[in-house]
Amino acid sequence: MTTHRLLERRLLFVTGKGGVGKTSVSVALARQAVRAGKRTLLVEMDDKGALARLFGSTDLTFEAREVEPGLHAMRMTTEESLREYIRLFVSNPLVSTVGPLARILDFVANAAPGVKEILAVGKLCWEVREEHYDIVIVDAEATGHIVAQIDAPSILSGLVQVGVIREQSKWMQEILRDAARTGVVVVSTPEEMPVIETHQLINEIEERTQVSIAAVVANRSPRVVLQERDIESFNTLLDNAPGAVLEAPARLVQLALQRRATATMHLTSLAARANQSGVPFLNLSEVGGADDRVVVDALTESLGAELS
């Protein structure tokens, strides 16, 4: 079995409009990477704990741990990435005089533009550069914030003239701008707003940054409820249905057909955008069920089928 080219990259940022299922898709991607024999690191970028819940475990920490065989997961926090950064890059005598970290942290998180982002993205690039893992998959920020994140080294080197950070933004940019290593996976659902945001985001990333798009994913694609050849008969049935025993259940199918037709229009638009950028378009079926972990299992299989 050959590995899909998407999983040959070293760093994948998974983004999309809020609510489209970024976290689930990140997990499915990570599991597929593990199946392809990759040492895999999955990173949660915020502190919602959604990723930990999917693994049925308590909260993740900055220190990566194996949550499933071959799959390592960590949670990014500004405080710990700053701590690690200082340990790695600032000379020892200085560190001992820093005093309480809280003040610097407060400063970084609230007042210094771009520093928080670069600490996070720096940690990710560091893992890639040191080759601790074959692939790093990031459950990244939503569409509104992702550009500030992946482009942090460029933004900051525009604002800062000298200093350690400026020097370091160079090697980070090298990794981020290398299409063979780094890419953004844009997740959408086949609904109007997420699709619009997907188009806007891809345009923005391609125009403003030198980071490349790796794939477009349509999540929760409504399944086919009725074969194409039966649709006409079904409509006849529906027209004559009022008062018949079939009416109520048929109305539900009608709703599903409408949803599917609306979704098809949006899927076409997403596929066209992926094609325009020359990247894979992955269409993942909607999975019903009460338990999120079961849903993610099914999603992993759906993704596997699309990748093979």
Partner 1 sequence: MSTLDTASLIVVCGSGGVGKTTISAALGVRAALRDGKKVLVLTVDPARRLADALGLVEIGNKVVQVNLGDSKGELHIGMIDTKASWDDLVVRVAPSQDVATKVTSNSLYRNLTERFVHSHDYIAMERLFEAHERGGYDVVVVDTPPSRNAIDVLDAPQRMLDFFGSKLLKFLTVPTRSFVSSLAAKPFFLVANRILGAGFLGEITDFFTLFRTMEKGFVERNKRVMQVLRSDAASFVVVTTLENGPLHEARFLLGALRERNFSIGAVVANRAIDPQVADEVERVLVANDQRTMEEAAAQLLGSSTDRAPTIVETVRLHATEMVGNARVQRERLVSLGTAAGVEQVWLSPLRGEDITDLEQLRSIEFRPV
Q: In the window 96-135, what residues touch partner 1 (CB under 8 A)? A: 97-99, 103-104, 106-107, 110-115
CB of 296 to partner 1, least distance (A): 11
Question: Environment class of residue 290 by beta-carbon count within 10 Å: exposed (0-12), middle (13-18) or buried (19+)?
Answer: exposed
290 binds partner 1 (CB under 8 A): yes
Structure tokens at 222: 């409504």
Cβ-based nearer residue to partner 1, 34 or 155: 155
Asked if 279 contacts 213 with a C-beta cutoff of 8 angstroms, the reply is yes
203-262 residues in contact with partner 1 (CB under 8 A) are: 225-227, 229-230, 233-234, 236-237, 240-241, 244-259, 261-262
CB of 19 to partner 1, least distance (A): 2
Binding footprint of partner 1, residue count (CB under 8 A): 77
> Residues 160-199: x/- map of binding to partner 1 (CB under 8 A)?
xxxxxxx----------------------x-xxxx-x---
> What does 165-234 look like in DSSP terms, one character per residue?
HHHHHHHHHHHHT-TTTEEEEEEE-SSHHHHHHHHHHHHHHHHH-SPPEEEEEEEEEPPP-S-GGGHHHH
Cβ-based nearer residue to partner 1, 38 or 260: 260
Between β-strands 71-75 and 40-44, what pairing exists: parallel, antiparallel or unpaired?
A: parallel
159 binds partner 1 (CB under 8 A): yes
Cβ-based nearer residue to partner 1, 244 or 305: 244
Asked if 176 contacts 121 with a C-beta cutoff of 8 angstroms, the reply is yes
> Residues 45-84: x/- map of binding to partner 1 (CB under 8 A)?
-x-x-x----------------------------------
94 binds partner 1 (CB under 8 A): yes
